[in-house]
Amino acid sequence: MSTIRLTLPDGSVREAAAGITGGEVARDIGPGLARAAIAARVDGEVYDLDRPIETDAEFAILTEKDPEALTVLRHSTAHILATAVRELFPGAGIGFGPAIANGFYYDFEVPRPFTPDDLETLEDKMREVAARDDPFVREVVTRAEADDRFADDPLKLERIAEFAADEIISVYTDGPFTDLCRGPHMPGTGRLKHFKLLSTAGAYWRGNENRQMLQRIYGTAWFKKDDLEAHLHQLEEARKRDHRVLGKQLDLYSIQETVGPGLVFWHPKGAMIKFLLSRYVEDDNLACGYDLVYTPNITREELFKISGHLPLYEAVQYPPMAAGAGEAEEVRYRVKPMNCPMHALVYKSQQRSYRDLPLRLSEVANVYRDEKSGTLHGLLRVRGLCMDDAHIFCTLDQAEDEIFLCLDQVDRIIRQTFGFRLQFELSTRPEHRLGNDETWDKAEDILRQALGRKGIEFDEDVGGGAFYGPKIDIRFEDAIGRLWQGPTIQLDFQLPERLDLEYTGSDNQPHRPVMIHRAIYGTLERFIGNLIEHFAGAFPLWLAPEQVRVIPIADAQAEAARAVADRLKAAGIRVHLDDRGETLNYRIREAEVNKIPYMAIVGQREADAGTVAVRTRGAGKKQDIIPVEEFEAQLREQVASKALVPYGDTG
């Protein structure tokens, strides 16, 4: 028998007989490690403890501390869920059951959907399975054996049929249940203690809406009870930040059944935020050399035929309306789902010279998309949306500078102003595409150059670009670590072609410009939804719909308080005077609950001294007693600099 060399994380090398298992190595090292061991990492791949190691390798024992171990735990928990389902629902088809972020799911084909009661019963059954402490046993099987073992489960047979000829097929058994599975798994079911089933959902087999619908169960699992509880608490916290809950509490917006799903009513406070965001990006656009345009909301359908959107995009376009009363012939009109053809028509409205380029046209515009009903979600997925849209018309040679400018704007606005962390992804040519490879080479190169020049690290989604050009997608991460789809910057060769856009070059010949589509916020609806959750409703001063609430302690100071409010109002501060006959405590609480950045409290001492007692949102009793003019100056400064204070989770 040959000897292999295992290099441990501390650099030491152990020699062992080929075929030794990770569990045996752990036992050799020490009983403590053997008890703690969950799996082994062999040359980067995670092995079960009882899987033989045949060659020299970098070797490590994984314990609860290793992130990979958590994945193993969750995957194994998914298996005991399947074990429980098979015991309670004999004959259930077994789909896929992977570990996912924070937990796992498993898909089943069962005669009737699971109920919330089923989840409790299944969870109890899972605890029984765990109590049995059955080992997870790995076997490698041939394709024929696999077909035989899973003969009664068509879902598994379908997967088996897809294995490449040389692929290793493994199965895992815990007690009565055997599953086709890549693994790895925990040593036994007894280690699975802190889990909870969370929800059920329908899920199409293999995510394909033309296939049958399976029943999915989601759950979470952790090594420690505290971790499980912390995670459940975190879910609760995220729920408190939910923009739909806060949007109602803070009276920012509503969506009303009488008008229709996905159509947003911005109430005064939400509308103020939308206005401030629009003004901010428009000011920034102007400073960056964009021109503003306003274009129609509806158009003859013909335009979308010419632009090529109609056949491709029709699923989300509202159906046409007939118009043209009194005219000889009725014409079909469409509400616009995007602005690009409109902006292209502005470009086309006159002859363009190379001296006009780049031409940057921007518009904060409403567009409408008939999104599938099941996908609508608060402000994050709507049917009537307001885009901060812009299109840059330029030569291919100018494109790099223009992209650079876009990246600069994204960085300034999304990262610096709002405090989001950014992630970039470059999507390159897809299989089905327009234009020759030479142009694609150049276009992709342009995007890479611009990213590089800005010093941005990025991932590549090979083949993920649009058929008309490559793009940069930007995701941003909010205050509690969630990722959101953010701005996109796309190069487009097709639309200039389809709309026959031209400019006259210095050679006095006609040339085709390229178009760059870009949005900074994306849509105001989604972005405001993100901001609500990011700030937990506690907006920074410059964005807060109400910035200061002035509160006289008693009626005797009402006039002095009014004078303070008037003064701040004259300084452009959004201020509200709360001189109602409620108790001081009541009014302070209400301002706090409404997440007003500052309270300016005026008692007799302040009225006499020309000061205010400033109470900052979330700071409790701590207050600053300062002259009114000093308060005003501070407010002005914070608004002007768009300071991210005061904000925080005020609970």
| 378 binding RNA? (CB under 7 A) | yes
Helices (H) then strands (E): counts for the chain: 20, 35
d(C-alpha 598, C-alpha 578), whole Å: 13
**CA quadruple 173, 176, 178, 184: dihedral sign:** negative
Using the minimum distance from each CB to RNA, give the nearer residue, 363 or 533: 533
- The residue (of 177 and 493) whose beta carbon lies closer to RNA is 177
State which residue, 453 or 580, has the beta carbon closest to RNA.
580
Range in contact with RNA (rule: CB under 7 A) among 161-169, 284-292, 520-528, 563-571 = 161-169
**175 in contact with RNA (CB under 7 A):** no
CA angle (116 as vertex; 103, 87 as ends), nearest 5: 75
Q: How many residues bind RNA (CB under 7 A)?
A: 78
- Residue 325 binds RNA (CB under 7 A): no
Q: How far is the CB of 223 from RNA (least distance, A)?
A: 18
Residues 117-136 that bind RNA (CB under 7 A): none
Distances (CA, A) of 379 to 242, 385, 532, 540: 11, 9, 10, 20
Comparing CB distances to RNA, the nearer of 295 and 623 is: 623
Interface pick for RNA out of 397, 604, 610, 630 (rule CB under 7 A): 604
Residue at 490: amino acid letter = Q
Q: Is 549 in the site for RNA (CB under 7 A)?
A: no
Does the protein bind RNA through residue 581 (CB under 7 A)?
A: yes
Considering only 255-263, 296-304, 427-435, 467-475, which stretch makes contact with RNA by CB under 7 A?
255-263
29, 376, 422, 643: which one binds RNA (CB under 7 A) = 376
Shortest gap between Cβ of 530 and RNA (angstroms)?
A: 15
Tell the smallest beta-carbon distance from residue 209 to RNA (Å).
Answer: 5
Helix axes 628-640, 558-570, angle to 10 degrees: 30
Residue 374 DSSP label: G
Residue 210 structure tokens = 């033309």
Determine, following the binding rule CB under 7 A, whether residue 620 of this chain makes contact with RNA: yes
* Binding residues among 412-451 for RNA as defined by CB under 7 A: none
Residues between 189 and 248 with contacts to RNA, criterion CB under 7 A: 199-204, 206-209, 213, 215-216, 218, 242, 244, 248
User: Is 489 in a helix, a strand, or coil?
Assistant: strand
Place of tokens 């509690």: 480
Q: Closest approach of Cβ 97 to RNA, in Å?
A: 6
Nearest approach in angstroms of CB 154 to RNA is 13
* 316: contact with RNA by CB under 7 A: no
Q: Does 516 bind RNA (CB under 7 A)?
A: no
Tokens at 164, concatenated: 């490449």
Q: Under the criterion CB under 7 A, does residue 152 sit at the interface with RNA? A: no
Sign of CA dihedral 304, 307, 310, 316: negative
SS (H, E, C) 557-625: HHHHHHHHHHHHHHCCCCEEECCCCCCHHHHHHHHHHCCCCEEEEECHHHHHHCEEEEEECCCCCCEEE
How many residues in total does the chain contain?
651
Question: What gap in Å lies between CA 376 and CA 373, rounded to an integer?
Answer: 6
CA 412 centroid distance within chain: 20
- Least Å distance, CB 301 to RNA, is 23
561 binds RNA (CB under 7 A): no
